[in-house]
Homo-oligomer: A and B are copies of this chain.
Amino acid sequence: MAAFVIDGKVIAAKVRADVAADVARLKEQHGFVPGLAVVLVGEDPASKVYVRNKAQQTVECGMQSFEFKLAEDTPEEEVLELVRKLNADPAVNGILVQMPLPKHMDSNKVLELIDPLKDVDGFHPMNVGRLSIGERALAPCTPVGSVILARSFKDDLSGLNAVVVGRSNIVGKPMAQLLLRENCTVTIAHSRTKDLPDVVREADLVVAAIGKPEFVKGGWIKPGAIVIDVGINRVLKEDGKGKIVGDVEYAAAAQVAGAITPVPGGVGPMTIACLLKNTVEAALMQRGLMRA
């Protein structure tokens, strides 16, 4: 039986609609509009597209968008000074510095200067730590979106055997923390894992975040499992044209899985939606408010 396809575009739209409703309520009840500042240094074409999309969706949700575009050769100290200014600006509830930064900058130094309460990417060590110990925290957008996708198919993930393939700071590790919060039994597998196919075969929920095209084979998937594919890989087809594939061998996996996210149109659209959600959460945290 073919898997249920989890439509990330539809679910991301739902997340954005919820954000817009939250924003409208905050404006009406508290008289303020959350704002997101995005800092882009240099001319990386992919980064420019991301930043444009982020700004556009921020405005569509009724929030304020502040864009800061700096030249590739901007001195690090200028970026640090901008972050300090944004930290101090009450109109700015979220600060995102688009990665990668030019090579002459210390990315960690820049990221760690961001006020953790405004760190909507969730990469600051304070947020990583708070997420781990179960305090209120801003969590990285892609893993947050992945959990929403999994829960759209099965609301209660408690007790599931979850296998996260990949241990990056941006996806794999925070994903493991979020799934532990959902009461999954969590296994983190990676390049040094022995018998990866066997490890994946035990999983009721697989999250593939390795960055290798179609690396996870259909034959590794346990029948009925939920498959969340975080990979976005550009490959060449036989006709020489490019296409985007995930980290999972989709066609084969979709024959076995209970549910699967497509690439594109799965996890991808969730990332910006969850960034907007984090911006509202950041605004609430800064004012000591909880979501109802």
> Which residue numbers of A lie inside 8 Å of B, CB to CB?
108, 123-130, 132-135, 158-159, 161, 167, 169, 173, 176, 180, 183, 185-190, 192-194, 199
Contact = CB atoms under 8 A, between A and B. Distances in A.
A180 B199 CA distance: 16
Given A129-B130, A134-B169, A186-B187, 6 more contacts: A125-B126, A125-B128, A128-B133, A133-B173, A180-B188, A185-B199
Contacts of A125: 125-126, 128-130, 132-133, 135
Secondary structure type dominating chain A contacts: mixed
B187 A194 contact: no
Q: This chain: how many copies in the complex?
A: 2
A132 B185 contact: no
Contact of A185 (B158, B173, B180, B190): B190
Nearest to A130: B125
A192 B185 CA distance: 8
26 contacts: A123-B133, A125-B126, A125-B133, A126-B126, A126-B129, A128-B128, A128-B133, A129-B129, A132-B132, A132-B173, A133-B169, A133-B173, A134-B169, A158-B192, A159-B192, A159-B194, A161-B194, A176-B188, A180-B188, A180-B190, A183-B192, A185-B192, A185-B193, A185-B199, A186-B187, A186-B188
B185 A194 contact: yes
A63 to B, nearest CB: 27
Contacts of A127: 129
Contact of A132 (B129, B158, B180, B199): B129
A192 B132 CA distance: 18
A134 B108 CA distance: 12
A107 B193 CA distance: 38
A169 B132 CA distance: 8
Contacts of A133: 123, 125, 128, 169, 173
A124 B199 CA distance: 33
Contacts of A161: 194
A48 to B, nearest CB: 27
Given A129-B124, A159-B193, A185 B185 contact: no
